[in-house]
Structure 1
């Protein structure tokens, strides 16, 4: 019986350690989560080892709640790492977030929280995949965010091509790249090298199963077509309400109720249109109040009214509005509902003031379709990022040894 219990405990521990960990989405009172390298303008949670990672978020309850953080390392596939916390952190996490301030001169009261890593309590010492968990004084997780720490130990060259498949030559973009070590060579690269390839600011939309096809000198070559292809999509829509009472080409009208309400011009399906270049920031958003000194605490929250004109039968599909502003989250807050009176699909979302990119996607049978509303056009400007992982013989964790990026604005045949 004792042997049986021991084996059962070991199996349970193995199963738990092999489970993939996903982000915990925030409750409705937590808004505008931004996690990025301090000096970077890109809203992608990629940080070079030794640089400063900054997490910012708002609590619209505005009650100066107590929040704490913990940091855990993960393998390439987001299963828990075999390393002890003391092996990848110097100092102690599980500390109180002390840097917070209440909003100033806003209709929507909120508390703005800010955390920088490294800080006086903790420093990350190894590259790899990480998740930062924010939890409350009852040790309940409020939300969590993934981020990746890397070093430049390999050169990564990236090119964007049109698909060689004639069925998709007008609608897909292909990511081709090569990897070469800066100093040493790779041991058994087909087994020990792994790559993450993603589009724009969305790590959730990624390709992870590519192996090097061949080598030229010490370069690992990845010249896939369909296996490394992404639907090209379309440029993002945007709105700009940095002047909350002013009008512009994206705001149809503004009303002051309990808060400001901004009604956007109705968007329509672009699936059957010809491609039109419309510069965007690839799904990102910038918090900004034109009349403020510190937009972090002086930018107000507004009720943004989205509307979509779509005459095609959507069947069992659900339509959502997504972007970095809501972490591409598909839930009741981002879903559009059909309004019988106007014949439009509508959504109202509470969003912090500034410049915001957004797009519409559909979901059916747990399958996301980025093109049903907007179509796919190979000319669309997208940015692609390749992250390289390496686990040497005998190593106990996946190092991140380099990254490369390229824009499809330079797409070639």
Structure 2
């Protein structure tokens, strides 16, 4: 059924951080702005995971646990930061560039706070990225950059900004640092409805705050519920349905799908870890072109079909070269063509979607419909590796529709994490704690 994963239960102190002013439009629909045709045109700093240059590729931001699965760990660490956050990315071209990074402390709504750099850092807030290597035995030249994020002194939300000469941003990533301050229980709920119980997944949870002196817990505690570590469809502004003062516990159990997500289906995948032999999901491979050319097998809608069980990596991707082993500098890039059969156009633009697109609607991953062939096609430049993805339909507001082509089944395996923030209403500049917990429910497939 569901697998609950809580790599980051946070109670982040923002008492001393007043609300800031957003640089971008706060009313812009998440995952859909700016419009794809202008994706790289606007260099205005955004307080979200974003790529500002088409030359920046294959961005990874994760916790360095020393395990093979570390790249799947979201950038969320305890205040001890014994296992650091690492950022890696490629910069296309024949020459390296001088790139610098800085941290921006943000409040719970990802708006810049009023804290000075010295309040959350012990060093100058400008870090030159000196760890970079050139791609080897590749047709598409690039440099691979890597940096370890410096330690911070306060828990909270941070935006990592990487800039080129002149301070122009090239990429941004959200990071979270937490302290243990509450205990969280999380479990699978059942949507109170008819057909929805077969297509949606509900997550009920409770927060025990024995270690905190909360005056008005329903107002001072803010939570955010994420599916597969995505920000674009996260559930925010969830208020407790029951405040149990005697037990010092907040219960969150809803009846109108406030804490329910479309379960969708297991992610589609293709294996491009080799550029000499065709892996799973690949119909054609031409290693003689520059860049190499890869055509994926034609696919069809899965909406209306029965649930199919197979292992996926929840929309993530893994960079690897089967020829040389080191995906960082030996992985080459290829033009990958996606093919999706459709008897008629969808009620909106269609995109490839997942971690390979930063969970955003990017122009490069927009598909074009051919009426005669009754098929969507599109080509994107991707690095050697193993990929998960969906086909989604863009909407004018909210997260894109991944049910139109993928369907939705309650049996789908997804990961959920809960972010818990604390902000007392007293004006005293008190920065409090955060928590990390193990899941109270870990139900696997049956």
Matched, 1:102 2:134: yes
Structure 1 residues 2-401: aligned runs within 5 Å: 15=21, 21-23=46-48, 24-39=50-65, 40-51=70-81, 52-118=84-150, 123-181=151-209, 183-216=211-244, 217-225=247-255, 226-256=257-287, 257-315=289-347, 317-340=348-371, 342-367=373-398, 368-392=400-424, 393-396=426-429, 401=434
Shift of the alpha carbon at 1:22?
A: 3.2
More strand by share: 1
Higher RCO (Cα < 8 Å, 6 or more apart): 2
Deviations 1:112-146 (A, max 9, x none): 0111022xxxx311111111111111111112111
Q: 1:396 to 1:250 in 2, by over 3 A?
A: farther
Instruction: For 1:380 and 1:365, locate their aligned partners in 2 and report how far apart those are by CA, in whole Å.
Output: 27
Q: 1:17 to 1:308 in 2, by over 3 A?
A: closer
Instruction: For 1:385 and 1:134, locate their aligned partners in 2 and report how far apart those are by CA, in whole Å.
Output: 27
Tell me which residue corresponds to 1:8. Answer: none
Q: 1:351 to 1:17 in 2, by over 3 A?
A: closer
Shift of the alpha carbon at 1:405?
A: 7.2
Q: 1:388 to 1:293 in 2, by over 3 A?
A: same
Instruction: For 1:409 and 1:274, locate their aligned partners in 2 and report how far apart those are by CA, in whole Å.
Output: 24
Shift of the alpha carbon at 1:204?
A: 2.0
Deviations 1:166-223 (A, max 9, x none): 2411111111111123634433211111111010031222011111222451221111
Deviates more, 1:259-268 or 1:67-76: 259-268
Tell me which residue corresponds to 1:9. Answer: none
Q: Give the superposed CA RMSD.
A: 2.4
Shift of the alpha carbon at 1:320?
A: 0.4
8 Å CA contact 2:350–2:366 kept in 1: the answer is yes
- Structure 1: which 5+ runs fail to align? 1-12
8 Å CA contact 1:162–1:411 kept in 2: the answer is no
Q: 1:400 to 1:102 in 2, by over 3 A?
A: farther
Aligned residues, how many? 395
8 Å CA contact 1:157–1:178 kept in 2: the answer is yes
Instruction: For 1:271 and 1:18, locate their aligned partners in 2 and report how far apart those are by CA, in whole Å.
Output: 35
